[in-house]
Structure 1
Amino acid sequence: MKFITLKNISKSFNGVQVLKDINLELNEGETLGILGRSGSGKSVLINMMRGTKEYAPDSGEMIFHVAICPKCLHVEAPSKAGEKCPECGETLELRDINLWDCDRLEFNAIKRRIAIMLQRNFALYDEATVIENVLKAMGDEGEYEERIYKALDILDMVQMNHRVTHIARDLSGGEKQRVVIARQIAKNPMLFLADEPTGTLDPQTAETLHQNLQDAIKDKGITMVITSHWPEVMEKLADIVIWLEDGEIAHSGDPVKVVESFLDTVPVPKKVESHEHGAPVVKIEDVKKHYYSIERGVVKAVDGVSLEINEQEIFGLVGLSGAGKTTLTKMIKGLTEPSSGKVSIKLGDDWIDMSQPGPLARGRVIPYIGLLHQEFSLYPYRDVLGNLSNSISLDLPAEFAKIQALHVLEAVGFTSQQVSEILNKYPDELSEGEKHRVAIAQVLIREPNIVMLDEPTGTMDPITRVIVTDSILKARDELKQTFIIISHDMDFVLDVCDRAGLMRGGKLLNVGTPEEIVKQLTSSEKEDMLKNQ
């Protein structure tokens, strides 16, 4: 049964057209997959379907064919027409509603029945427990005990039942992402929108969550629209796929055929050739980071890690969410101190102990270390040029800062034409993939000795990922930089890293070539999955 119809939808921001005459139909219970490069219009289309007012179309119609209660305006999917309203008992009537040209009450009624999960959005109640976050999403309907059991079932579904009473702020990025998904499932939507829901998760967790979406959304007949950079997601979940290119539907139809066409455009990255490394510049000696939590007891975030990283080396840290990778990089940066052990960074001829505060200790090194957090943010009230020029220094000539900004934006994959288009844009005018590349540029423009990137490709399409891979290799060669990269993207690790280390449970299990570590990670994941069955 027809559910959503888009007719000649177009949208522009500041004179730049981001959607051009989009026409498509989505049936009830179908899953629509959206492919496309960063900035192709995927997120704009999803936000428009959500009813986000900033994304209202300039022209065209977005028609929802729904069953609506004439008395209380409760909305259900169209197949429910003729049934009794679960709110007031009236008979639901079939109606076609143009979302962007309808009564305000009808608009809000439809919007309440749509759940959305945005890229890199960890919007949770930080001080509340995991289960409290899910309960808040459910509302107050029904018996409290029933809601508790339903919340526990959902958390088990997304493999977060072991974190039920943990405070949200203490979770890793991947764990937060799973709680966000649980909150959206708890709303029992008629339409589920997912914009790169697993972009920053490790492969095992991502595969599990894709299965969760299959079980909890698709198999229950809930209509879903999903964007993803994982080709297998399109092939597994989507019934129909559209490929957006510069705001237009370049190709649509069978998921396998559309994905193949899209991947044919992905360039082959330059492989890491044998690169001559210098002496060690990072020494980690039996480092531990333990802390006590009332809810969790003693938490061993990092537990006895020893490691050396060489000058001009690209070193990858891989492992499941919560393995301790991010905590370890924060200690290298000097953002947190180890409970025991020692982290030393070489600056010139001196070794600096990063546990020692002050301008003559770690204060000397911090300016030479660049870090891109997984939960990065840009200055919202500065344009792209302002975000980058402020990262260098306010004392430098404006023209110099602009030249540096142009250079570094091209280094992270923007063409010269794209650079001129985005330079004066503000962050809320960029796609998530564009924001991510600007954030990487913020780090690189400072020309640090050591660059640490936490999930640098989490929101990137395959084409942009290859460009960033080449950019990192180029930066290493030209600027003689050392890179420490945290990633769940195994192809990226294989393409860009010289060595890699596998972490699990706060421990560094092994260090070797990327190929050796990826094989061990895969086998370890299989073992974990067997243990959890």
Structure 2
Amino acid sequence: MDFITLKNITKTFNGVDVLKNINLKIKEGETLGILGRSGSGKSVLINMLRGTLDYKPDAGQVIFNLAICPDCLAVESPSHAGEKCSCGGTYEAKEIDFFNAERKEFASIKRRIAIMLQRNFALYDEETVIENVMRAMSDENDYEDNLYDALDLLEMVQMNHRITHVARDLSGGEKQRVVLARQLAKQPMMFLADEPTGTLDPQTAEKLHNTLIEGVKDKGITMLITSHWPEIMNDLADHVIWLENGEIKEEGEPEGVVNHFLETVPVPEKVENPEIGAPEVQMDDVKKHYYSIERGVVKAVDGIDLTINKEEIFGIVGLSGAGKTTLTKMLIGLTEPSSGKIEVKLGEEWVDMSKSGPLNRGRVIPYMGLLHQEYSLYPHRTILGNLTDAISLELPAEFAKIKAIHVLTTVGFDENIAEGLLNKYPDELSVGEKHRVALAQVLIKEPKIIILDEPTGTMDPITRVIVTDSILKARKELEQTFIIISHDMDFVLDVCDRSALMRGGKILDVGTPDEIVKQLTADEKEGMFKN
């Protein structure tokens, strides 16, 4: 049964059509996959179907075929027409033009739509996991019923072992699973998932996929899921559309559409036998221990010895929770080591990064750049402002523009598109485009040591290859050293010269990426390869 019909949908931002004459039918209980590059219009379409007023179509209609109770205006998917409502009324079939509906009908529909957004965990940080889930439940239900329902949902998302943990202490993958439980607690008639696994390691992503199948797809809830990863389309979708430049380029069975999309992905070119310099980063017996009420002493980093050389592209790999991000925070001075020594070479002098102040690590930090996996841009500055004055890069106006366009093309934007981005604001970009701008923000200052924490999280396969090439090019032309934190072993194989394998806060081995692959356990292979 048809549930949603999109008729001639066009959406324009600042004179640019981001969706162009979209015509689409979504059936009740169907899982529709939306495949495409960053900036193709996926997130715009998802936000439009969510009912976000800023995404109201400039032309065309979003038509919902619903069952609605005339007495209380409760809505259900169309197959419920003729059934009794909890208020005592009877659901009646009705076709509603979503953005032109009466205010109360619009609100009733929107309440029955759940969404998981990219890089947005939307949790109450100071509350426990179980409290977060119960907050999403109806106050009309009995407290005890809500409690047991919440426990069932947390068991489904494999988070029942964390029910009393405070949300801020969870890993990114754990937070994402709690968000999923919260959204399912709303008992939606439609579930929207916008790149829900973009920043997760493949093993955690697989758990989330299974929960989406069990908690959404198998329950007959209509689902739309956007992704630039073909594996997600094959695993979850019944029907797939491929968006490109705001238009439906192809639609049909997942396998056929996915294969055609993959044919457009280039292969990165890796430089053989690059010239590597002398040691530039030295870590000796570095430890970071902290105390948790629930877990006791946590050894996030436990006795690391590591040397990274000038102009080397060095990968630190491991599953979520291995200690990778904590290690890099200590390297750049964002957190203090519990013990041990971290030194970075500046000119001919070694500087102790564990010592604060302008005469110690303060001298080195201006020559280091960090792209954190939870990056953010300045929302009230244009992209040009984000790339220049917002990061204290003071340049003459014309030179700033030229340099900004150059660095945007380096991270995968076409030159004409890059120029058009300069006067836009971050909220006008897709999450994948913001990710590339954040990377450009790091590169434009031309630091000598660049730390990239999960740099491929929200990048489509084509942009991923472009960024791989840009890292290799930057190393050669600007003599930069890259430290890449990743659970994406395919990316590490493409770009890194050497890698360290972390497990339980320790480094198990250091070698070429190919050598590291041989040291991976079955779980690590499953968790660090997308295929």
TM-score, length-normalised on structure 1? 0.96
* Distance in 1 separating the partners of 2:162 and 2:198: 21
- 2:79 is aligned with what amino acid? S
CA displacement 1:290-347 (0-9 Å, x = unmatched): 1112343222221222211111111112222222111111000001001111111111
* Distance in 2 separating the partners of 1:526 and 1:408: 34
1:15 Cα deviation after fit: 0.2
* Distance in 2 separating the partners of 1:212 and 1:522: 24
* Distance in 1 separating the partners of 2:311 and 2:274: 8
Q: Which residue of 2 aligns with 1:9?
A: 9
User: SS in structure 1 opposite 2:205?
Assistant: helix
CA displacement 1:450-480 (0-9 Å, x = unmatched): 1111111111111111111111111111111
1:264 Cα deviation after fit: 0.5
1:306 paired with 2:315, answer no
1:375 Cα deviation after fit: 0.8
Query: More displaced, 392-401 or 447-456?
Result: 392-401
User: SS in structure 2 opposite 1:516?
Assistant: helix
Equivalenced residue count is 528
* Distance in 1 separating the partners of 2:499 and 2:237: 34
1:108 Cα deviation after fit: 0.6
Q: Which residue of 2 aligns with 1:66?
A: 66
* Distance in 2 separating the partners of 1:312 and 1:103: 61
Q: Which residue of 1 aligns with 2:293?
A: 294
Q: Which residue of 2 aligns with 1:159?
A: 158
User: SS in structure 1 opposite 2:216?
Assistant: helix
Q: Which residue of 2 aligns with 1:42?
A: 42
1:188 paired with 2:164, answer no
* Distance in 2 separating the partners of 1:180 and 1:447: 37
- 1:51 is aligned with what amino acid? G
Query: More displaced, 143-152 or 42-51?
Result: 143-152
Q: Which residue of 2 aligns with 1:284?
A: 283
Q: 1:343 to 1:83 in 2, by over 3 A?
A: same
1:433 paired with 2:420, answer no
* Distance in 2 separating the partners of 1:520 and 1:189: 44
Q: Which residue of 2 aligns with 1:333?
A: 332
CA displacement 1:11-56 (0-9 Å, x = unmatched): 0000000001101111111000001111110000000000011100
Q: 1:526 to 1:243 in 2, by over 3 A?
A: closer
Q: 1:161 to 1:525 in 2, by over 3 A?
A: farther
1:186 Cα deviation after fit: 2.0
CA displacement 1:352-407 (0-9 Å, x = unmatched): 11110110001011111100111111010110000001255354322222221111
Q: Which residue of 2 aligns with 1:420?
A: 419
User: SS in structure 1 opposite 2:289?
Assistant: strand
* Distance in 2 separating the partners of 1:143 and 1:178: 25
User: SS in structure 1 opposite 2:136?
Assistant: helix
User: SS in structure 2 opposite 1:71?
Assistant: coil
* Distance in 1 separating the partners of 2:518 and 2:147: 40
1:518 Cα deviation after fit: 3.5
User: SS in structure 2 opposite 1:219?
Assistant: helix
Verify the 8 A CA contact 1:33 1:227 in the aligned structure 2: yes
Q: Which residue of 2 aligns with 1:83?
A: 83
- 1:76 is aligned with what amino acid? E
* Distance in 2 separating the partners of 1:395 and 1:240: 50
Q: 1:266 to 1:526 in 2, by over 3 A?
A: closer
- 1:453 is aligned with what amino acid? L
Verify the 8 A CA contact 2:35 2:229 in the aligned structure 1: no
* Distance in 2 separating the partners of 1:513 and 1:149: 49
1:526 Cα deviation after fit: 7.1
Percent of aligned positions that are identical: 74
CA displacement 1:218-257 (0-9 Å, x = unmatched): 0111110001122121011101100011110000001000
CA displacement 1:160-203 (0-9 Å, x = unmatched): 23322222222222222222222212222110000110011111
* Distance in 1 separating the partners of 2:493 and 2:452: 16
1:519 Cα deviation after fit: 4.6
Matches of residues 345-360 of structure 1 in structure 2 within 5 Å?
345-360=344-359
Q: Which residue of 1 aligns with 2:403?
A: 404
User: SS in structure 2 opposite 1:269?
Assistant: coil
* Distance in 2 separating the partners of 1:375 and 1:210: 22
User: SS in structure 2 opposite 1:43?
Assistant: helix
- 2:22 is aligned with what amino acid? I
Verify the 8 A CA contact 2:378 2:390 in the aligned structure 1: no
1:133 Cα deviation after fit: 1.2
- 2:202 is aligned with what amino acid? P
Verify the 8 A CA contact 1:200 1:459 in the aligned structure 2: yes
* Distance in 2 separating the partners of 1:158 and 1:85: 29
User: SS in structure 1 opposite 2:219?
Assistant: coil
User: SS in structure 1 opposite 2:490?
Assistant: helix
* Distance in 2 separating the partners of 1:484 and 1:476: 11
User: SS in structure 2 opposite 1:3?
Assistant: strand
Q: Which residue of 2 aligns with 1:531?
A: none
1:522 Cα deviation after fit: 5.3
1:268 Cα deviation after fit: 0.9
Verify the 8 A CA contact 1:166 1:296 in the aligned structure 2: no
Q: Which residue of 1 aligns with 2:208?
A: 209
Q: 1:390 to 1:139 in 2, by over 3 A?
A: farther
* Distance in 1 separating the partners of 2:393 and 2:327: 31
* Distance in 2 separating the partners of 1:424 and 1:461: 24
Verify the 8 A CA contact 1:410 1:416 in the aligned structure 2: yes
Matches of residues 210-225 of structure 1 in structure 2 within 5 Å?
210-225=209-224
Q: Which residue of 1 aligns with 2:110?
A: 111
CA displacement 1:46-104 (0-9 Å, x = unmatched): 00000011100001011111111111111111111111113x12111111111111101
* Distance in 1 separating the partners of 2:83 and 2:515: 58
Unaligned runs of 5+ in 1: 529-533
User: SS in structure 2 opposite 1:283?
Assistant: strand
1:119 Cα deviation after fit: 0.9
* Distance in 2 separating the partners of 1:421 and 1:123: 31
* Distance in 2 separating the partners of 1:519 and 1:7: 52
User: SS in structure 1 opposite 2:250?
Assistant: strand
- 2:7 is aligned with what amino acid? K
CA displacement 1:470-500 (0-9 Å, x = unmatched): 1111111111111111222222111111122
Matches of residues 252-267 of structure 1 in structure 2 within 5 Å?
252-267=251-266
- 1:178 is aligned with what amino acid? R
Matches of residues 423-462 of structure 1 in structure 2 within 5 Å?
423-462=422-461
* Distance in 1 separating the partners of 2:46 and 2:379: 22
Matches of residues 369-388 of structure 1 in structure 2 within 5 Å?
369-388=368-387
Q: Which residue of 2 aligns with 1:57?
A: 57
Query: More displaced, 22-31 or 170-179?
Result: 170-179
